[in-house]
Amino acid sequence: MPETLALAEKSAELQQLVKRVARARRVVVVTGAGISVNSGIPDFRSASGVFRQIQAAHGHVVGKGRDLFDASVVFRSGAAAAVFYEWMTQLRRQCAAARPGAAHAFIRQLADRGVLQRSYTQNIDGLERKAGLRVWDPYQKPGSAGHVPWQQAHSVPLHGTMDHLTCQLCASAVPFAALPGGAAAGDACAECLQRSQAREACGRRALATGKLRPAVVLYEELHPHGEDIARIISHDARSRADVVLVFGTTLKVPGCRQLVRRLAAAPRTTTVVVNNEPVCGRAWDGVVDYQVVGCVDEWCARVQRAWNAQSKITQWATKRTRGAPAAKENAPEPTSRKRRVSDSDSEPEPTSRKRRAPDNNSSLEPARRSARIATRGGPADYQQRQPLSICT
């Protein structure tokens, strides 16, 4: 079972974990609905979440609140589809009015520091773009103003966003208007109508017309861009992140579980799950290293304080390094103890070393030289001396 740390307790191990995350050079973040609750967007699974609200208001239409987001259930009856369109329109207005929270600002700071490898989000609120992150949007065509290649994207929405509506029949995409007057969920597809009217003008039968729905992925539904996302995940898994941070999710969606397992499988990768309640049991042994129980915003604040402490140390060291040569250059020249010779002083003439004349008794020179070597210690005596130890 992963080691559980309480954020409310200021333990030494928790502090070391915060410092390790602050020193990381490659970070991948996986986020869920919990990071957007403080921005005014409800989550789905809590006691006051969207599922409970739907069940309380429309229990006679759908058996469970989750059924409204199940593709195999919601479009079977017109009444359930109408409730789905109504709730998605209301959620779109909430997303348009919401502002990024502390967790979104933290991810943006990771990007600004150059350590964010990728941010994968299960959220459909689009707050990552409002926070200033580059978001990969498969509905933006290359060359358009909002197109961001996946290699340059900071954030990848796993379940789509509320920015677009797609036709259930022809799959064409249009912007999802947050205000009345534009395209709304449940409206007839304009492209389908245009093709049908063109056929009728030629005397042919009319074509079926699809309805617009938010470009989000529901339960029991194939992801229309699943292959592209799988390619991005494979690329990031090969890059081997130093730290994988999982924020505000219960890890109950199968796709998200597989994503975390894939990213955490790299050696020397530290995986940290931060949530208000414990979510990792024995099934996550060997995958998740730590689960921190507490508020995600408080965790982000602690890492930011660790960054600030590192910056202060770096600035102090930089000032000290830059100030040392300057102090050396501005220091006064040392006064020499030698007497300065003036121009008027006459320099003494160097004494010449005259060669000593050889003694008349030159036959005694080899014997005297041998005696001097034996007295001082010659080459044989030097080899027998013990070398000095550098460890003393």
* Alpha carbon distances (Å) from 342 to 269, 334, 347: 72, 19, 9
Rounded CA separation 382/90 (Å): 96
> 211, 189 in Cβ contact below 8 A?
yes
β partners of residue 272: 245, 290
- Helices 12-23 and 296-330 pack at an angle, to 10 degrees, of 70
> 90, 42 in Cβ contact below 8 A?
no
Q: Indicate which residue of 104, 154, 159, 225 is catalytic.
A: 159
Rounded CA separation 291/272 (Å): 6
Task: Spell out a b/e string for 76-104, using b for 16 or more CB atoms within 10 Å of the CB, else e.
Answer: eeeebbebbbebbbebbebbbebebbbbb
For the chain, how many residues are written? 392
Alpha helices in the chain (DSSP H): 12-23, 50-58, 71-74, 78-97, 102-112, 127-130, 190-201, 226-239, 254-264, 296-330, 365-376, 379-383
* Alpha carbon distances (Å) from 125 to 50, 215, 216, 291: 14, 12, 10, 25
225 is catalytic: no
- Active-site positions? 159
